[in-house]
Structure 1
Amino acid sequence: MARISLLKNQGILSLLLIIMVVLSTMVPNVKAWTEADFEIFDIVDALEKAEGKDTTFYSWLGVPASASQADISKAYRKLSLKWHPDKNPGDAKAKERFTRLGVIVTILRDATSRERYNFFYKNGVPRWRGTGYLYSRFRPGLGTVVVVLLSIAAGMQYIAGQINYRQEKKRILEFIANARTQMIHDAPKGRAPTLGRTYIEVGQRHMRCEVKSDTAIAVYPDERTQEPILLDAEWVTQPTVESLFLVKWPKRLINKVLGKKDQVVEEEEGTVSEQEEEVKEGAETTATESPKRTTKKTRRTGGGEKVNVMGAKVGGRRRATKN
């Protein structure tokens, strides 16, 4: 069952990888902007930011889109006299307009550049211009790169945690469903118990088990030790933002600097996934001797008070009791 699930996950990942490769080969062909296009993007953004949205080269010069080179040159001479720095001493905005005017007229005087601008003038300037363009225009510093990489890693950790959480919970519920199916098969007609003892197949081996509730099942990997491993879907911990390393590590560092100790919320010696692995191992091998049924440990809580942890092992979990 686990192997089939793994093969399905591998098939999905392979399909996603193929789709990403195909898209990566198509994107350069669709978004192959040139350096001249990038220059047009820059001047369009600067013009709209300074003169208002939807301001175009032609509307700013005061000529129609079908204007001839003579009309463009005439408009250029008129505006250059108006915004020349010598006639506007100390006016930074006039100087900026004069510089922008020279760039725009240079683009419109060149037939190839004007043809490219007319294309964007009619179809609109694209929002996405490629990562290379963004990086060259908004070059991030080392701190920004580190923060972005850590954020991506934390996001991937959260997604992986959510996937593992759902898979572990689903696996336990499948154990319970299979056990109940076996109980219905073995029960007399008209009697369909939902709780009780039966057998399930794990790793091509039949194991005795006991369905305790809709979310809990006890599995006996070894008949001789009679020590069950309790699997409960409610015990599976759903990842939260606080469980991300991006939050946990700084918190631990701050506690260490301040001399505080992390409080023990729950005493555990294993997770649900570790219990499932123990069930699988029990299906493949038989234990030669029974493990110790009781343990005693001393742990220290955040307040410095000692807590003795005692109890029988049931699925790797022990509850703390104070003496």
Structure 2
Amino acid sequence: MRRLVLVSILLAIVVVTLGAYTRLTHAGLGCPDWPGCYGLIDVPETSEQIAKAEAAFPERPVEIQKAWNEMIHRYFAGALGLLILAIAVMAVRNRHQGTPMFLPLLILAIVTFQAALGMWTVTMKLMPMVVMAHLLGGFTTLCLLFLLYLRLTPYRIPGGDWSIKKYAKYGVVGIFILTAQIGLGGWTSSNYAALHCTELPICQDGWLENLTFEDSFDLIPPERDTYEFGHLDHHERVTIHAMHRIGAIVTFAYLVWLAFAVMRRAQTGFFQKVPIILLAVLFAQVGLGVSNIVFSLPLAVAVSHNIVAAFLMLVLITLTYSLKRKI
């Protein structure tokens, strides 16, 4: 079962990557229906298929590359769902052998809801709240699979570091802070606000005067035919982006403090190395965030920014879980 969970983790990373790529290539509506694409299980490519597709969906002309981006993401997500179903079945069958059952069933419930969010992303025409929830659902699935893998792995937590056991609760706080920051990133992306602050460290001159919270974080927006490319005005998008930047500063400061606090008091190599890895991934994430601004959101950097955020969370979970197992 542990190997199956590991394969699922690797596949979940691919799915999160493809989700980011699909979103950043504006392919979220590359297929205007769900779960197929213009009524097909693949993408319309022949002239006859394209003609039928555009007759059925006249408001959405076929863009083959975007459609493939979307469908490939769906194929991999579907495969991940089947693996998670297999894990849940194995957990139920082996429950009398001490195999964790609650966590696999929770992951199955989340990935089922994640499939519904994928459908609503299309049927609700990229409503920001649904897009952000779909992003968070992908991250949650990956993180819970990783937590399950840690639970199934009988690795030894070094003893002798009693002075750092209190930092387990601070690790949990860090997970909540990082989750909130990832959510802000998802809200920034889903509202197409990534390029509305073009200077560092917060935004361009006059950003404070542009702040408006009246509609910037409304979860239920006014009804529109589509939310593709955003529905908010410039001031609202500046507000969203500025809050993401401020959140990044808070997250950075907290995780740096946590890493150095654990590293300074740790006596064993394990608890000295994990904070170093956390800092390395954190600084890589900051570098990618800065590069997004300096180079105007290049696709490779923007996708990497999503993936490194996931790895940052996995390292933080490793540290927190290890500290809690030590108690």
User: Shorter-chain-normalised TM-score: which range?
Assistant: under 0.3
Larger RCO (CA within 8 A; separation ≥ 6): 2
The structure that is strand-richer by fraction is 1
Greater Rg, structure 1 or structure 2? 1
The structure that is helix-richer by fraction is 2
TM-score, normalised relative to structure 2: 0.27
